[in-house]
Amino acid sequence: MPSFVSWVRLLPAALGIATWLDEKAGTAESEYLIASQARSLMNRLARDLEAAGIDLPRPRAAHGTAYLTVFAETSSALLARLGVAP
């Protein structure tokens, strides 16, 4: 039997990340700025992600551009929860 998924929390978070990624595609912003914006996005989505069963890293798990790896891992966890292979 499939495990429970809180779609009410998961889908808005997925939409938020997908929309943000579309906005950042092809941008000329620096990696540092994009990493900072990714951290802000994850902070805004934290409650929905946690309610949907996505484990979030500690707030200061990575500094600067290293946060992009944390963002990618969290996004992959979200896709896995949706049942989509990353």
* Residue whose C-alpha is closest to residue 64's, from 32, 38, 41: 32
Assess whether pLDDT exceeds 80 at residue 18: yes
9 — pLDDT class (breaks 50, 70, 90) = confident
Residue 25 lies in a domain: no
Identify whether 23 is part of a domain: no
Can you give the residue range of the structural domain that contains 55? Answer: 30-86
Question: How many H-runs (helices) and E-runs (strands) does the chain carry?
Answer: 3, 0
Total count of domains within the chain = 1
In this predicted model, what pLDDT tens digit does every residue of 36-83 receive, in sequence order? 999 999 999 999 888 888 888 775 668 889 999 999 998 998 888 887
- Does 57 map to a domain? yes
Is residue 7 domain-resident?
A: no
| 83 in any annotated domain | yes
Q: How confident is the model at residue 17 (pLDDT cuts 50, 70, 90)?
A: very high
pTM above 0.75, yes or no: yes
Q: Widest CA span of the chain, in angstroms?
A: 46
In a domain, 9, yes or no: no
Beta carbons within 10 angstroms of residue 84's beta carbon: 10
Taking the CA of residue 58 as centre, how many other CA atoms within 13 Å lie in the half-sphere pointing to its CB?
4
66, part of any domain: yes
pLDDT at 31 over 60: yes
Mean pLDDT to the nearest integer, 19-44: 92
